[in-house]
């Protein structure tokens, strides 16, 4: 009988390993790093020891050689303990590592992938700018060829893993920049390392609503010189790279919502049996039953959609945007709503940090914004569905 959520023993073993790791290592530190708005670099490097920082990378380059389902399992299990920490993992393993692996040359892969798969270097991806987020073609950062180097000028905003502390850059980034005047062939992708001339930390962004355990930064490129050998693919290839990688990004963000929802359901379900009012457990009251039952059904609906989409997603090919948008559109809001119901079930206890659901609710909101807003998903879906038949 097919197990949608663990299609092979390898997937089941991955889930067991990560659930145990999340419960033992990730969950106990989550509240403290949320309060301090800091990134647990030491814990992050342990993910390298587990072999999941390059989860979709071939073994010969230091990765685990697994698929989109494995990536979903990893994000679901880690997010059930600490969504902020998991966002840092996503930015590294999906936005940098998977993106780089799919689009780089073998020479580039051999040079850079072992360090990022082991956790020796922490990576990120630079796309959004102060005036260009969902409007990707509005990007202003430029890259001009000057002999054996490209010179980058501009700024990138909202970059996860852009800083590893208040004053220190992350280690390595994929940077999208304009190399032409107009159109989708006007953008190229570059690998930029910390220490490159003209590359600096603009600011680490603080006082975020949620996802505080992942760092968010502004990065500045001021006459930044990058070797021409660090161009990924050919000039003008970047939008294709970006669109293909957005599919696994959105799928794994949806998986994070699954983790948030599952943990919220576990907490409210347990509390509903422990808390008594008017002489009986509050789970005997219809309002509480509605919150628990609706949350479970919504979570399972989203979970089936995510894993079914992951089962058919080929990481080396594009063309899955309808359902990668669809799962994120549904699950992002679902996770937030389930966390909200958990707060309601717990009442005053849900409003404080002890029971964790207030942190899960704050973290969940980002998933309606990052990786594409829910409005962008609605636009994409409506446009794409106009061109296809829904009938099998």
Q: What is the per-residue pLDDT across 29-62, written as a single tens digit (0 to 9) for each?
A: 999 999 999 999 999 999 999 999 999 999 999 9
Q: What is the per-residue pLDDT across 133-146, written as a single tens digit (0 to 9) for each?
A: 777 778 999 999 99
Percentage of residues in the chain having pLDDT higher than 90: 92
250 shares its domain with 377: yes
Question: Of 232, 262, 284, which residue sits at a domain end?
Answer: 232
305 shares its domain with 268: yes
225 shares its domain with 253: no
376 shares its domain with 243: yes
Q: What mean pLDDT is reported for the chain?
A: 96
Residues that are catalytic: 249
CB 116 within 8 A of CB 194: no
254 shares its domain with 244: yes
CB 7 within 8 A of CB 311: yes
197 shares its domain with 153: yes
226 shares its domain with 243: no
208 shares its domain with 266: no
Per-residue confidence at 76, pLDDT binned at 50, 70, 90?
Answer: very high
**Residue 24 lies in domain:** 9-122
Q: Is the pLDDT of residue 334 over 90?
A: yes
User: How far, in Å, are 11, 129, 163, 383 from residue 253 at the CA level?
Assistant: 19, 20, 21, 22
Per-residue confidence at 198, pLDDT binned at 50, 70, 90?
Answer: very high
Q: Is residue 316 assigned to a domain?
A: yes
Question: Of 232, 256, 276, which residue sits at a domain end?
Answer: 232
Q: Is the pLDDT of residue 178 over 70?
A: yes
162 shares its domain with 218: yes
Q: What is the per-residue pLDDT across 203-243, written as a single tens digit (0 to 9) for each?
A: 999 999 999 999 999 999 999 999 999 999 999 999 999 99
Residue 72: which CATH number? 1.10.540.10
Percentage of residues in the chain having pLDDT higher than 70: 99
Q: Is residue 392 assigned to a domain?
A: no
Q: Is residue 357 assigned to a domain?
A: yes
Q: What pLDDT sits at residue 389? A: 80
Q: What pLDDT sits at residue 392? A: 64
Q: Is residue 247 assigned to a domain?
A: yes
Question: Of 192, 214, 232, which residue sits at a domain end?
Answer: 232
Q: Is residue 321 assigned to a domain?
A: yes
CB 46 within 8 A of CB 78: no
Q: Is residue 351 assigned to a domain?
A: yes
Exposure class string for 15-44: b at 16+ Cβ within 10 A, else e: bebbbebbeebbbebbeebbeebbbbeebb
Residue 255: which CATH number? 1.20.140.10
Q: What is the per-residue pLDDT across 293-311, written as a single tens digit (0 to 9) for each?
A: 999 999 999 999 999 999 9
Q: What pLDDT sits at residue 391? A: 65
Q: What is the per-residue pLDDT across 352-381, written as a single tens digit (0 to 9) for each?
A: 999 999 999 999 999 999 999 999 999 999
70 shares its domain with 131: no
Calpha distance 2→93 (Å, rounded): 28
Q: Is residue 391 assigned to a domain?
A: no
Q: Is residue 310 assigned to a domain?
A: yes
Residue 179: which CATH number? 2.40.110.10
Average pLDDT score over residue span 260-275: 98
């Amino acid at each position: 009988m097919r197990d949608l959520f663990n299609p092979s023993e390898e997937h089941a073993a991955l889930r067991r390993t990560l659930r145990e790791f999340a419960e033992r290592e990730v969950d106990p530190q989550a509240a403290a790093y949320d309060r301090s708005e800091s990134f647990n670099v030491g814990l992050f490097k342990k993910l390298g020891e587990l072999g999941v920082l390059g989860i979709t990378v071939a073994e010969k380059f230091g990765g685990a050689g697994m698929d989109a389902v494995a990536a979903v399992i990893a994000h679901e299990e880690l997010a059930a303990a600490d969504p902020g920490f998991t966002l840092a993992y996503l930015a590294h393993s999906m936005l940098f590592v998977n993106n780089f692996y799919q689009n780089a040359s073998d020479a580039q892969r051999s040079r850079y992938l072992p360090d990022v798969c082991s956790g020796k270097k922490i990576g990120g991806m630079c796309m959004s700018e102060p005036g260009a987020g969902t409007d990707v073609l509005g990007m202003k950062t430029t890259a001009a060829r000057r002999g054996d180097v490209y010179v980058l000028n501009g700024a990138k905003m909202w970059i996860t893993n852009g800083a590893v502390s208040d004053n220190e850059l992350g280690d390595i980034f994929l940077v999208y920049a304009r190399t032409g005047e107009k159109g989708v062939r006007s953008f190229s992708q570059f690998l930029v390392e910390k220490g490159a001339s003209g590359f600096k930390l603009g600011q680490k962004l603080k006082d975020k609503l949620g996802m505080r355990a992942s760092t968010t930064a502004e990065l500045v490129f001021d006459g930044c010189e990058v070797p021409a050998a660090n161009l990924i693919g050919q000039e003008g290839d970047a939008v294709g790279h970006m669109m293909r990688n957005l599919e696994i990004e959105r799928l794994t963000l949806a998986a994070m919502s699954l983790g948030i929802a599952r943990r919220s359901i576990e907490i409210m379900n347990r509390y509903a049996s422990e808390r008594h009012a008017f002489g009986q457990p509050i789970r005997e009251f219809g309002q509480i039953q509605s919150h628990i039952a609706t949350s479970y059904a919504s979570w399972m609906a989203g979970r089936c959609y995510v894993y079914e989409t992951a089962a058919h997603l080929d990481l080396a090919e594009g063309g899955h945007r309808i359902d990668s948008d669809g799962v994120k559109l549904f699950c992002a809001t679902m996770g937030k709503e389930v966390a909200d119901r958990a707060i309601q079930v717990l009442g005053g206890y849900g409003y404080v940090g002890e029971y964790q659901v207030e942190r899960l609710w704050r973290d969940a909101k980002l998933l309606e914004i990052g990786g594409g807003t829910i409005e962008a998903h609605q636009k994409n879906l409506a446009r794409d569905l106009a061109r296809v038949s829904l009938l099998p």
